[in-house]
């Protein structure tokens, strides 16, 4: 199977919280990343977490890491229409600096 | 964060021609990479651009098709050679900055091959 998996689509209402999930397979992953891609744009680094942490918070964003289950999530509090985009998770393996990306989750925020 | 610029931002090219994409970073970086994002898809690593030596290519990508240069710490080029419609993609430059773990991406070059 794929190294990094994400659900394809998530729809939420403005003001609600969004939770985007990601699973990975390599237990030697050192860093895990979340990127945002708006239509026609490049990738914006949102946040990242080191594999020895289980949570990281940055303003409206909360990253949770369950290393035992190899599960990563990104929670966006008070989701706004400007948060509508594709969100990619990515893992960096222990050896080298290559990032392996998930397929991306399209977040749609309804007013 | 690193500020990355790419030129051109987009281009429409004819089959059989070649296009060179430039990537410039505003600070010294340790690693530079080139990724491809095919329409509606995720990102795939093409190669790692090594300063002063040949790039390191991932499986499925070869130097004859995607020659890469990196003459210094802040600049790299990717050439897409002998293009076909299947090469229509967004090509993104990516960097890791010195002493940091963040990896940043450029705005991408949107290539359409007719």
Are B105 and A42 in contact by the 8 Å Cβ rule? The answer is: yes
Which ranges of chain B have pLDDT less than 50? none
Q: How far apart are the first and last CA of chain B?
A: 36
Helix (H), strand (E), coil (C) string for B21-61: EEEEECCCEEEEEEEEECCCCCEEEEEEECCCCCCEECCCC
- Residue-wise DSSP of B80-107: E-S--GGG-EEEEEEEEETT---EEE--
What's the pLDDT score for residue A26?
A: 81
Are B101 and A42 an interchain contact pair (Cβ–Cβ within 8 Å)? no
Are A42 and B103 an interchain contact pair (Cβ–Cβ within 8 Å)? no
- Cβ–Cβ contact A50 with B under 8 A: yes
Average pLDDT of every residue of chain A = 92
Are A42 and B107 an interchain contact pair (Cβ–Cβ within 8 Å)? yes
Are B101 and A50 an interchain contact pair (Cβ–Cβ within 8 Å)? yes
Above 90 in pLDDT, residue A30?
no
What's the pLDDT score for residue A95?
A: 58
The beta-carbon neighbor of B108 closest among A31, A42, A98 is A42
What's the pLDDT score for residue A96?
A: 64
What's the pLDDT score for residue A25?
A: 85
What's the pLDDT score for residue A94?
A: 65
If you average pLDDT over residues A39-54, what whole number do you get? 91
- Closest CA relative to residue A71, chosen from A41, A45, A51, A93: A51
Q: How far apart are the first and last CA of chain A?
A: 36
Residues 6+ apart with CB under 8 A from A66: A54, A72
- Cα separation, A17 vs A3, in Å, equals 27
How many pairs of residues across A and B have Cβ atoms under 8 Å apart?
47
Average pLDDT of every residue of chain B = 94
Above 60 in pLDDT, residue A2?
no
Burial of B51 from C-beta contacts in 10 A (0-12 / 13-18 / 19+): middle
- Cα separation, B80 vs A50, in Å, equals 35
Q: What are phi and psi of B68, to 5 degrees?
A: -130, 140
A51-78 tens-digit pLDDT: 889 999 999 999 999 999 999 999 999 9
């Amino acid at each position: 199977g794929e190294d990094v998996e994400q659900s394809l689509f998530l729809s939420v209402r403005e003001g609600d919280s969004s939770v985007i999930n990601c699973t990975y397979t390599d237990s030697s992953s050192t860093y895990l990343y979340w990127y945002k891609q708006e239509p026609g744009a490049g990738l914006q680094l949102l946040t990242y977490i080191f594999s020895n942490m289980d949570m990281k918070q940055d303003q409206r964003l909360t990253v949770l890491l369950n290393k035992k289950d190899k599960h990563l999530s990104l929670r966006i509090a008070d989701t706004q229409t400007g948060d509508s985009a594709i969100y990619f998770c990515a893992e960096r393996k222990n050896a080298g600096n290559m990032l392996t990306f998930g397929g991306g989750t399209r977040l749609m925020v309804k007013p | 964060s690193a500020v990355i610029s790419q030129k051109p931002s987009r281009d429409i090219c004819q089959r059989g021609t070649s296009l060179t994409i430039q990537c410039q970073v505003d600070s010294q970086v340790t690693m530079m990479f080139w990724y491809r994002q095919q329409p509606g898809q995720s990102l795939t690593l093409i190669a790692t651009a090594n300063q002063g030596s040949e790039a390191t290519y991932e499986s499925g990508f070869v130097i004859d098709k995607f020659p890469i240069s990196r003459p210094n710490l802040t600049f790299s080029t990717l050439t897409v050679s002998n293009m076909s419609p299947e090469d229509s993609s967004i090509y993104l430059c990516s960097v890791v900055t010195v002493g940091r773990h963040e990896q940043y991406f450029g705005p991408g070059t949107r290539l359409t091959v007719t």
